Each structure stands twice: as C-alpha cells, then as structure tokens.
Chains A and B, each alone.
Chain A
Amino acid sequence: MTQPALDDIELPRRRTRRLRLSAAGVIGAAIVLAAIAVAAFGWAFAPYDAGAVIDTEVFKPVSAAFPLGTDYLGRDMLSRVLLGARYTVGIAGLATLLACGAGVCLGLFAAAIGGWSDAILSRTLDALTSIPSKMLALVLVAGLGSSTPILVLTLAFIYLPGCFRITRALGVNIAAEDFVLAARARGERAGYIMLQEVLPNMVGPILADFGLRFVFVVLLLSSLSFLGLGVQPPNADWGSLVRENISGLSEGAPAVIMPAIAIAVLTIGVNLLIDSLPGRRRERH
C-alpha cells in the first residue's frame, strides 16, 4: 500500500539543542505564531461586532472603514475573519493534539508490546487509512452530525492512524538501539524504557509530523465547512466564510477571496516551518 518505507524515517541523534531555522522557516514560524495570536486574541482587535450588519451595501470592496470589505449581508469581513481564526486554528489545533496524543500513546504501546496485539492494532488502523479522508469525514458527519465537539473528535479520529503509524515505526527502530538494549539489560521496566529512553528520542520527527497533520486537518475542516457540513452558522470558520460569500465570486469580492487567502497563508506557513525542522518528511493526506 502507500506506507512509507521504514528507512525513509530519519532516526534522531543527540545534537546541540540550538534550533537553526532558515529564512523560510522564520517566515513560517512568524505566520504560525501570528495565527495562534489571532485565534486567541483576535476578537479583541475586531473593529465591529462580527455578527452585526453594519452597512447596507453588500460585497463592498476594500476601504479604510472596512479593510477587508463587507460580506453578503453587509457585515465587516475583517471582524469575521479575525473571529473565524478561532474556529479554524482552534478546532484544527485541538483535533491534531488529540490525534497525535492518542496516536503516540497507541504507537508506543504497540511498539513496546509487539506480537498479536501490535499486529491487530496496526492492521485495523492501516485499514482505516484505506478510506479517503474526505469520504470518511462525510460518512462520520452523516452519522454523527457536525457540532463543534463532534467535529474535533471526528477530525482527530481520521488522522489518528497516520500518527500511530509513524510513532510505531520510530519506536520499533529506536527500541533496537544500543542504549535501549542497555536499559533493558539493566532490568528497567517496559514502561520506563518507552517513556524515558524511546519517547525523548522521537520528539523531533513527532513535532514535524504534528505540523504536517495540522495542515491536513485545516484543509479537511475548511473543505467540510466549505461544503456546509463543518462549522455551522451562526459560527463560521474560514471555510464557512468562503462558502457564505461564494455568490460574490462573480464580482471578485474580497469577502470570498480574503478568508481563502487566510487558509492558504496558514497552511503554507506551517509547511515552511516544518520543512526547516530536522527530521522532516512529506506525505499526502
């Protein structure tokens, strides 16, 4: 199937702790920090109430009063994009944390225990990846609906197998290293070995994987919202904002272009950042 070969994954080495970023990496890091700041505090800087209709003219172009124009009801787009960051970054961040947290735990467990439990866990989670992520998301939304907590869980569930797979592969590789064999010979317990010897040595690749998976989650969440099946009105993430204002596309209204640009800037920013991290790898959702 489409599994990456094990030797594609670079094993980490102990190295000096200073993280050196390329110019592109610095830009990426700045974008990511800005996105987190906007998601956390953006509402405080919103010039208007994001839900209030404040102008009679819809799909206004960019102006001093409305830096991103107005939307299909005459609401201020800047305020709506600032508020939308909370949903896009917040939901995607939470879902990725959940997916990676659970994936790392299960992956370490499978790598530590081996044998039948490992085989069953690996095969089941692998089989889940044979459903295209958008299709799995549609089926789960059909079955469970799309309230915000359910969306977080659904997205986490879809990207858990990928995180499990990389953790398990790294875990199995690192467990064969000399320092782990030494710990085993000292008579350390399996739990201690996994948490104290193996886990600290996979932090780099796991972080890069976290970033990559965050991008996938943002893309999937925006696509779902764009289809009208993600974040539900009156709340709106950036994908919903594009959908709401799609009728302004024929006029080239900023209301439909700006949230789309926001998504693109975020995903490209995260990509730039993880490309400059050590132990990176690429994969398509």
Chain B
Amino acid sequence: MNGPIAKLIGGRLVVAALTLVFVAVVVFVATQLLPGDVAQAILGQSATPEAVAGLRTALGLDQPAAQRFLAWLGGMVTGDPGVSLVSRQPIGPLIGTRLASSLLLAAIVAAVAVPLALAIGITSAVWRGSLYDRVVATATISVVAVPEFLVATVAVLIFAVHLHWLPALSFVPAHASPLQFLRAVAMPVLSLTFVVSAQMARMTRAAVIETLRSPYVEMAALKGASPARIVLRHALPNAVGAIVNAVALSLSYLLGGVIIVETIFNYPGIAKLMVDSVAMRDMPVVQSCAMVFCAVYLLLVTAADIAAILSNPKLRHR
C-alpha cells in the first residue's frame, strides 16, 4: 500500500470516528430534550421528594450535562452502557443477544441478496434497453418508491396467505432445528431481500453501464472481442470498485428495512428492541441501540468509501 492511499484511508477513518462522536452528542441531547425527570419517572408520582432526590444522586442526574455525557460515552466505549429503566437488566448482555440475532438475519439476507442483485444488475446493464431491462427497471423503481412495510405486507399476502408456503410470523423455538429456523426466518429474509436487492441492482446496473461506455470497451469491441469477453474480461474488473461501493451502500439501507421487518415479523433483533424501547421511553436502551445502529451504518459507509479509494487505478499506480 502506498502513501496517498494510506493517507486517504486514514483520513476516512478519522472522519468516521469524529462523526461517531458527533452522532453520540446528537443522540444524547435528543434523548434529554423532553422536560421531565428520569428519577421521577422510575419511582412514579407517589414517591417522596427525598426518594426522588436520592435516586437522582444515585443515577448521577444531579451532575452537569457535559459530565453526564462523558460518563455515558465512557460507559459506551468500555462496554457498560447502563441499566434498562423498564426491565432493570444491564443493557450490555441484552443488546449483545439481540445484536447477534439481527446480524444473523442480515448475514442471511446479504448471502441471498448480493448474488441476486449483482446478477440482475449486470445482466440488465449488458442488455440495456431490452424488454428485460425495462421490466427490471420498473420493478426495482416500484420497490424503492414504496415503504418497506408495504413490501413485507405484500410478501405475507402472497407467500403466507395465498400460497401457504411459509408461516406469517417469525417465531423461532428455543431449540429449533436448522430447518425450523430457516422456515421461521424465511418471510423476514424474503421481504428484506426484495428491498435491498432492488436498490443494489439499480446501483450495480449504473456502475456497469458507466464502464461499458468507456473508450477501452469500445476499443475491445472494435478489435472484435466477443460480447462475453468484453463484459467479463474488460468491463467487470474495472467496475468492481463501483460495485463493491454499491453493495456496501445498499447494505446500509438494510438497516432501515430491518427496523420495519423485525417489528412486522416479531423477530427478536436489536431493531425490535429499539422500537419497543422508544414506545416505552426506555432512554438508556434507546441510546445504546441508536449508537450500535449508527456505528454499523458508519462502518458500512466508510467501507464503501474505502472500496472506492482502493479501486481507483489513478491512486493505485502512482
């Protein structure tokens, strides 16, 4: 790895870290905006003022906001994000198991959606303007333009209600066999795959068309190279960076879809935890979930940036 690339990547990582700190400030401030006291909320209206004051001291609420922010941020970094107001459980282990379930769901979706979207995107770029391309374009735009819950609802309607292929709810028994597990997560995976691969196919198509328009592809065509050779040997290797960038960006949209899909199908992931905690105003859990989400999102966006840097030949051969 040479100088300019290392410098650019280092710069991206620094920006990502600074952004994460900024995100932490926004999350912390936003969840403190509503006037109202956490200690009072925990103890209820009938609590004596002394008890409320005691709990305020115990929770550190009597300290200045900046100090509380630093303590909270320190707890986040060291893996001790505090205690849930509702369940009184430590948040760390709670989020750990939920995050594992969500990552498993995301991994399955990625394993299905990435090859599917790449195949659709590349083929529709190669046959651009054809009927196939127009059908794909209409289908992907329609999926992108409607809310995720609509996609999930239609999927349930078709595959669970009409065809009876799959269960509508995602209930995973404690000691599920792999087959039971796959049946249970099939609907969430299917819905998310629709949402993510529509976006990813569109971006892949754009990236491949960009390279197919370049002079060296024209040159290869004039030389008499076969269409397959032009695409596989000349166009694709040069589009890899843009495609990886598209994949990473689309996977970051997966996060938005996960929030809806986990709620619809009752999948016990971190997004469901977040939505439930917002409904119950369980601020410490909301803060922690938001930070985990934003960290994963930044990771994917930064990975997309780095892929774009690494694949830029102007930087590679300097």
Q: Which of B142, B145, B259 meets A227, CB within 8 Å?
A: B259
Task: Say whether chain B's binding surface is mostly helix, strand, loop, or mixed.
Answer: helix
Q: Taking the nearest CB of chain B, how far is it from the CB of A267, in angstroms?
A: 5
Q: Which of B161, B278, B301 has the most CB of A within 10 A?
A: B278
| B residues near A182, Cβ cutoff 8 Å | none
How many chain-A residues does the 8 Å CB contact rule pick out? 44
Whether B19 sits at the interface, judged by CB under 8 Å, is yes
Within 8 A of B (CB), among A109-163: 127-128, 130-136, 138-145
Taking CB atoms, residues of chain B closer than 8 Å to A242 are 149-150, 153
Measured in the bound complex, the distance between the Cα atoms of B19 and A136 in whole Å is: 14
Please determine whether A284 and B253 come into contact, CB atoms closer than 8 angstroms.
yes
Q: Does A219 contact B (CB under 8 A)?
A: yes
- Nearest B residue to A249 via CB reads B156
A263-B150 in contact given A131-B23, A143-B33, A227-B259 (Cβ < 8 Å): yes
Q: By the criterion CB–CB under 8 Å, are B253 and A219 in contact?
A: no
Residues of B within 8 Å of A142, CB to CB, are 30-31, 277-278, 281, 283, 286
Contacts of A250 in B (CB 8 A): 160-161, 168
Query: Which of under 10, 10 to 19, 20 to 34, or 35 or more describes the interface residues of B?
Result: 35 or more
| Cα distance A132–B162 in the bound complex, in angstroms | 34
Q: Is A215 interfacial (CB 8 A cutoff)?
A: yes
- Does chain A have a CB within 8 A of B141? yes
Q: Does B293 contact A (CB under 8 A)?
A: yes
Q: In the bound complex, do residue A130 and residue B294 qualify as a contact, i.e. CB atoms below 8 Å apart?
A: yes
In the assembly, what is the distance between CA of A96 and CA of B253, in Å?
22
* Contact indicator B146/A227 (Cβ below 8 Å): no
**Is there contact, CB below 8 Å, between B275 and A143?**
no
A1 touches B301 (CB 8 A): yes
Interface of A: prevailing SS: helix
Known: A1-B301, A138-B275, A139-B31. A223 touches B260 (CB 8 A): yes
Tell me if B249 is interfacial: C-beta within 8 Å of chain A: yes
Which chain B residue has the least Cβ–Cβ distance from A229? B278
Can you list 24 A-B contacts (CB < 8 A)?
A128-B26, A130-B301, A131-B27, A131-B297, A132-B294, A135-B290, A135-B294, A138-B278, A139-B286, A141-B278, A142-B31, A142-B277, A144-B30, A219-B147, A223-B147, A223-B259, A227-B260, A229-B275, A239-B147, A252-B162, A260-B153, A263-B146, A264-B146, A267-B146
Q: A222-B147, A249-B161, A260-B150 are in contact. List 14 more A-B contacts (CB 8 A).
A: A2-B249, A127-B19, A130-B22, A130-B23, A130-B298, A133-B256, A138-B274, A138-B278, A142-B281, A143-B30, A143-B33, A223-B147, A250-B161, A257-B157
